[in-house]
Structure 1
Amino acid sequence: MQLVDINKSIYRKRLNIVIAIFVACLTLISIGFGAILIQLFGDALPAVDPETGEALSNFRYNFVGVILALLVCISILQQLKNHPFCKEIHYVWVLKQIQNIIYRRLKNIKAAANNYENEPDVNAFVVLNFYYKSLIQVYMLDNNTLTISTVKQDLASLEARMQELNIDVTAHEFRRVLLIEYR
């Protein structure tokens, strides 16, 4: 995956629109499915519990309606993820998935990059370089200024180490297949 420059204002605007539409659709479809399920199956059970005399709720039908609505909304998002309007949102979503995979293997990747017994693993430097630069990009897009300074320090430290070892890599060299060896 290549790092792509994203216009922050367009990304935030489109993300907010997608979230608002998702929530509105989820709400309306949930209510619709709940009403349909209550209409279809509500009469199948008594309205009052015969043992206690308490009124029975339609919670189970409404809950199933929410689950069905969630499935419908997710399938719609899956169909629209390649639409030009969702290009930036999908890019960031995929980037965050890759960051999560790298994070889970970060200990092994750092160990390979800091291997002093043998020649340091250049692929580990490629992955780390991509990871830190992609984190900075996502943090900037999401206004996460609290931890971005730490990531910038980590990137500077990595770049200093690469310069010390005379290793020249870029984030563009990253391929997802590189992560296989760091399980």
Structure 2
Amino acid sequence: MAFYLEEHDPETYRRKGRLISLAMAGQLIVLGLVFSQLLVVSFGSSLWLNALGVFLGLLATSATFAVLKDRPWMKEVRYVWQLKHHLGQISGYLPGLRKAVEEGNTTALDLLTFYHQGMAQLAELNGRTPDDDSERLAEKMQVRLKREEKGLPDKVDGFDPLDLQAFKRG
């Protein structure tokens, strides 16, 4: 399934991300303590029962999160998780993609363009400046020049993960 870049307000994403992280951590702590106490009261005191209680709290928190992740108010956080997942997928293919770009492969150009756009957007959403080292800047420039040579637009809207299958994993 294709993934498309979307515009999101960085401040809204960071605020929601912090709120969701705190809520999930709080829920884990409370449920871990509740399950641990219930097990200790029912079966006696034991390190293993306390650990089982924390594990049950983790399972309950994970289940709650799995149910809530598709809610509309989770849109920005869900988008960033998906973006990170796809950027991680592409990073595994970077050596093959770089080689294909040198050979003039249009799909590789699109994938590397998406990768650089996604990394820049991720940095912006997280409130960081892009950590563009000289190699990355040179690669971005090379991709931009190759795209201009082929008459391709500067930016891409998204990518299809199936396009990666044509390239050798690094």
Q: Scaled by the length of structure 1, what TM-score is found?
A: 0.82
The answer as to whether partners of 1:25 and 1:73 remain within 8 angstroms in 2 is yes
Match in the other structure for 2:67: 79
- Confirm whether residue 30 of structure 1 aligns to residue 15 of structure 2: no
Match in the other structure for 1:15: 17
Alpha-carbon distance between aligned partners in 1 of 2:20 and 2:161, rounded to the nearest angstrom: 28
Deviation sequence 1:18-71 (CA, Å, 0-9, x none)? 00100100000000111111122216xxxxxxxxxxxxxx32222111211111
Out of 120, 123, 127, the position equivalent to 2:111 is: 127
**Cα distance, 1:148 vs. partner?**
4.2
The answer as to whether partners of 1:126 and 1:171 remain within 8 angstroms in 2 is yes
Out of 94, 99, 102, the position equivalent to 1:106 is: 94
Report 1:159-174 matches (<5 A).
159-163=144-148, 165-169=149-153, 170-172=155-157, 174=159
**Cα distance, 1:143 vs. partner?**
2.2
Structure 2: where are the runs of 5+ without partners? none
Q: State the secondary structure of the residue aligned to 2:4.
A: coil
**Cα distance, 1:156 vs. partner?**
3.1
The answer as to whether partners of 1:132 and 1:154 remain within 8 angstroms in 2 is no
Q: State the secondary structure of the residue aligned to 1:130.
A: helix
The answer as to whether partners of 2:124 and 2:130 remain within 8 angstroms in 1 is no
**Cα distance, 1:157 vs. partner?**
3.1
Out of 82, 91, 94, the position equivalent to 2:82 is: 94
Larger deviation, residues 150-159 vs 82-91: 150-159
What root-mean-square deviation, in Å, do the aligned CA atoms of Structure 1 and Structure 2 show?
1.8
Q: State the secondary structure of the residue aligned to 1:171.
A: coil
For residue 34 of structure 2, what is the amino acid of its counterpart? G
**Cα distance, 1:149 vs. partner?**
6.0
The answer as to whether partners of 2:13 and 2:76 remain within 8 angstroms in 1 is yes
The answer as to whether partners of 1:129 and 1:158 remain within 8 angstroms in 2 is yes
Alpha-carbon distance between aligned partners in 1 of 2:19 and 2:68, rounded to the nearest angstrom: 14
Q: Scaled by the length of structure 2, what TM-score is found?
A: 0.88
Match in the other structure for 1:3: 5
Percent of aligned pairs sharing the same letter: 23
Select the structure with the greater relative contact order (CA < 8 A; seq sep ≥ 6): 2
Instruction: Give the number of the structure whose alpha-carbon radius of gyration is greater.
Output: 1
Match in the other structure for 1:65: 53
The answer as to whether partners of 1:136 and 1:148 remain within 8 angstroms in 2 is no
Aligned residues: 164
**Cα distance, 1:153 vs. partner?**
5.2
